[in-house]
Structure 1
């Protein structure tokens, strides 16, 4: 790969404000992340695979699916979840391919800075850190509300909240191995719960419940398959708008899928394990999300008044509503316990993601350098502690006066996930173009999708649409606060991007300038030899994980 003279490289690095080491870089301008990156591979294969399979199964599918059904009807919710699922899959395939080529700290913000523009990496990195950080107190508050299903004494809420907060932060402070073990256990609980709910829901629908009432597709006929948004008189247009309203709700159920790629530098055999995880994602989306939404739409009508009861606990779950109607009384408590673990797991995952992205920003000189400090066990302790500080915002949800401000503050990140997916797919387009221009064989990578680059184009198109239509309802009944909540993230990320670009005078990388070598460990450095399973248990584990 041609890089030009040392002087030209020095000038170029000075102008962009970031110095990526090239094989022949001078000592003065040498900056090789692998020299500073002190992460250790504490996540094992079973951790990664279970995180990939069940990492994003949470309150979105257990509780939020009821709101999606109420808004768009059974077919409308199914369409919305399927569409968002394809975009999530495209995004994960894109980041998975880049992460298997470069399993380094910082994940997709690092890739954006390295292969698109350092300013884009700065903007998307800080935007993602902020979004993940503010999502932590949301999940802490949700977990506290779920405990209220058994104890409705409001005076106990601060105690429960503090206990959840301390345990969640402790898991992340103790290190990635503790995080991996906790997520492994939570994933098993979530998998068992969602599979059990789908089976129970199917049994109830076919008349196997205590009341022996066969439901079938009754509610698809009456009141109907697609609800109306109530915004325009034309029925077809109004139903289309109802589906649009559900897209954002559906997106919350898929957020966090990129966790596997973010943890790449802390994963054993990262290339092999990430590749295996990404290949299994399609089946996870179909079985747990699409099938789950289909079953929910068969069990309850979209105009059921119970769906409008936003309690925040198991009573809000469409599965629990269906169970109660069928005469099943014990399972709702089990569901609430499972949803509690899901909320806790989601909060812990958001905290993990926020700290690792912040650490990656610091490695590239786009955050204070002290955040690169790691303990002897490879934990970026300062990045973790700063990320943990966001969880203290959860105490605002207890105070009635601060709750409105808290909710508004958190909702500013509504489109943050869409922006992240957009940047992932955009970065992949640049990555692919640079790889081809420099003569690299894309198919030689441990993971490569034959559907590329069409998957990334699909992801780019739909994330732009999602970002633009996110707050469309405000244009039918204007509300300044709702408009800001829906769209303020767009000027925030543009300000971050343009501010860094103008200040540091960065340039968009040309295909022949992209660095696909420096600071990236080789396959021999990351992948251990495959040990074939010998016993029956080992063969079962190899199949599952």
Structure 2
């Protein structure tokens, strides 16, 4: 593999791979081959004199192929194998580039602040106790941080359509990419109707007389409207939703400190009262293992920022900041708020018992405020939970539509599923996801819990499999770089944990899978049950069947792509190493001129 620059605007073939020159444009919006098609769309929309309505109609027409792209760049060259074809198609995706730095940072901060934190933490507290809750979340958060660092390195280097889905295809092997991609798609496909049902249940806190399906319809229309606005609409909506969630969590932390110190209406000093009685642990080691699983699931969606790489205006500048923001979200919004919860709510509180994962009444945040005697605030907390639920529903459409579009680009889904219109929207994928969201109308049925339990079971372990694929993809990418005598100096962003961080996160994620197997086989406080086991572990046979099915269909039994055959150039940004090194040197020099506190801030932010 060459390490030198190609002539401007040309393709150079080295061995069996194609290396594209990204130096032909140094603009903010076009620093790699996924050039923004907004200019094409704008040109199309302004043709003629049809006005706004004409432009609106034209926006749904197929995106126009950028001039100058060859069949090789579009991935239609028959001389390419499946992996090479997938790499070129994703590198030249027609998705719109409208996500700004502020969008990415708020998506990174708020993408997984939802029912997992606000409601699921109550079940975890009841199962593991306050000490078990914090131990599990601290350990899992270190793994999530290491995973996000590895994902950041890959996403900044390869800001291509599909993100981690494509990385598994390129750096591990296609069957893994197929299995991970479809399981991730199913995870968020089911999540949309689940969140719509959760929203309708949350509304019952204020009104229990109206039919739940009325609220499902209202929220479904809201999500449909937002997602049809395109990636800019999603970014703005998520920015507002995340900002509200962040303010709410910060406000809760401040209020909790006041209550713990005896500043509430009763002026009772709480301190470590609930750590002494009923105690720090609820079910011993087994309880802590159960909380590990809950904590891992609560962080689901953290990796979604990796999907935004192909739609961000300047991935080299904005993605590192968004990835680093994950550290602060983990430390502040999860660990600090859960520490407050552990001090304000006893793990044996009856309101935590037997609650479903979508029941806002069982939220330890609500219970903490109620215990503190603060009137009116429980309604505010419930309103924030409602916003968080809608935010996750909105994000689920984004995740499923981009995953399906990527699978179609790779030839792993029907070609029509990858339809992108002139506004840069994966239109068919968005509509399919929203249509499935109508499944939420079973909210008024007494079978809703059982139906959702089995739907979630199909992809219940998807987040763990996705993180494992990210960890291993990063490990294989670094292995390929070493084998091909390439240096990390050519990377615009380097994982702070390095390859060892990915090995650590990979090991931790496998241990969580083992813990889930143990808890599923021998549930806490119950006898072994095949029904409960498959609810907890159906995700594993599902992904294995997906992997095997692709192997049988493709008849490719290669278990892993060898390091010498891994393409580490297609889809790269800033292939001009001289320009890249100059930019990085200027950034380091600017940081070095700042004060110590600012330098520390820049390291982590």
2:319 pairs with 1:274: yes
Q: Report the counterpart of residue 296 of structure 1 in structure 2.
A: 341
Tell me how far apart the structure 2 counterparts of residues 37 and 473 of structure 1 sit (CA, whole Å): 42
Q: Report the counterpart of residue 283 of structure 1 in structure 2.
A: 328
Tell me how far apart the structure 2 counterparts of residues 95 and 152 of structure 1 sit (CA, whole Å): 44
- Could you report, residue by residue, the CA deviation over 1:171-196 in whole angstroms, capped at 9, with x for unpaired residues? 11220111001000001100000000
Between 200-209 and 251-260, the greater mean CA deviation after superposition: 251-260
Give the secondary structure class of the aligned counterpart of 2:131: helix
Q: Is the 8 A contact 1:111 1:427 kept in 2?
A: yes
Between 459-468 and 34-43, the greater mean CA deviation after superposition: 34-43
User: How far has the Cα of 1:52 moved from its partner?
Assistant: 1.1
Aligned counterpart in structure 1 of residue 355 of structure 2, from 305, 310, 330: 310
2:499 pairs with 1:453: yes
CA 35–95 in structure 1, closer or farther in 2 if over 3 Å, else same = closer
- Residues 355-434 of structure 1 aligned to structure 2 (within 5 Å): 355-434=401-480
Q: Higher helix proportion, which one?
A: 1
Q: Report the counterpart of residue 200 of structure 2 in structure 1.
A: 144
Q: Is the 8 A contact 1:396 1:406 kept in 2?
A: no
Unaligned runs of 5+ in 1: 11-19, 229-238, 533-541
Give the secondary structure class of the aligned counterpart of 2:193: helix
Q: Is the 8 A contact 1:56 1:257 kept in 2?
A: yes
User: How far has the Cα of 1:28 moved from its partner?
Assistant: 4.1
CA 292–375 in structure 1, closer or farther in 2 if over 3 Å, else same = same
- Residues 154-303 of structure 1 aligned to structure 2 (within 5 Å): 155-228=210-283, 239-303=284-348
Tell me how far apart the structure 1 counterparts of residues 76 and 457 of structure 2 sit (CA, whole Å): 46
Q: Report the counterpart of residue 102 of structure 1 in structure 2.
A: 158
TM-score by length of 1: 0.88
Give the secondary structure class of the aligned counterpart of 1:367: coil
Q: Is the 8 A contact 1:72 1:227 kept in 2?
A: yes
- Could you report, residue by residue, the CA deviation over 1:366-400 in whole angstroms, capped at 9, with x for unpaired residues? 11111222111111101111222221221223211
User: How far has the Cα of 1:409 moved from its partner?
Assistant: 2.0
Q: Is the 8 A contact 1:314 1:332 kept in 2?
A: no
Q: Report the counterpart of residue 487 of structure 1 in structure 2.
A: 537
Q: Report the counterpart of residue 51 of structure 2 in structure 1.
A: none
Q: Number of matched residues?
A: 513
Q: Report the counterpart of residue 41 of structure 1 in structure 2.
A: 97
CA 405–55 in structure 1, closer or farther in 2 if over 3 Å, else same = closer
Aligned counterpart in structure 2 of residue 501 of structure 1, from 513, 530, 551: 551
Q: Is the 8 A contact 1:314 1:333 kept in 2?
A: no
- Could you report, residue by residue, the CA deviation over 1:304-357 in whole angstroms, capped at 9, with x for unpaired residues? 222226274543222222222222111111111111000000111111011101
Q: Is the 8 A contact 1:313 1:336 kept in 2?
A: no
Tell me how far apart the structure 1 counterparts of residues 442 and 156 of structure 2 sit (CA, whole Å): 40
Q: Report the counterpart of residue 65 of structure 2 in structure 1.
A: none
Q: Report the counterpart of residue 82 of structure 1 in structure 2.
A: 138
Q: Report the counterpart of residue 390 of structure 2 in structure 1.
A: 344
User: How far has the Cα of 1:50 moved from its partner?
Assistant: 1.0
CA 225–27 in structure 1, closer or farther in 2 if over 3 Å, else same = closer
Aligned counterpart in structure 2 of residue 330 of structure 1, from 376, 381, 388: 376
Q: Report the counterpart of residue 148 of structure 2 in structure 1.
A: 92
Tell me how far apart the structure 2 counterparts of residues 391 and 362 of structure 1 sit (CA, whole Å): 21
Tell me how far apart the structure 2 counterparts of residues 112 and 503 of structure 1 sit (CA, whole Å): 18
Q: Report the counterpart of residue 67 of structure 1 in structure 2.
A: 123
User: How far has the Cα of 1:35 moved from its partner?
Assistant: 7.2
Q: Is the 8 A contact 2:197 2:216 kept in 1?
A: yes
Aligned counterpart in structure 2 of residue 134 of structure 1, from 174, 190, 201: 190
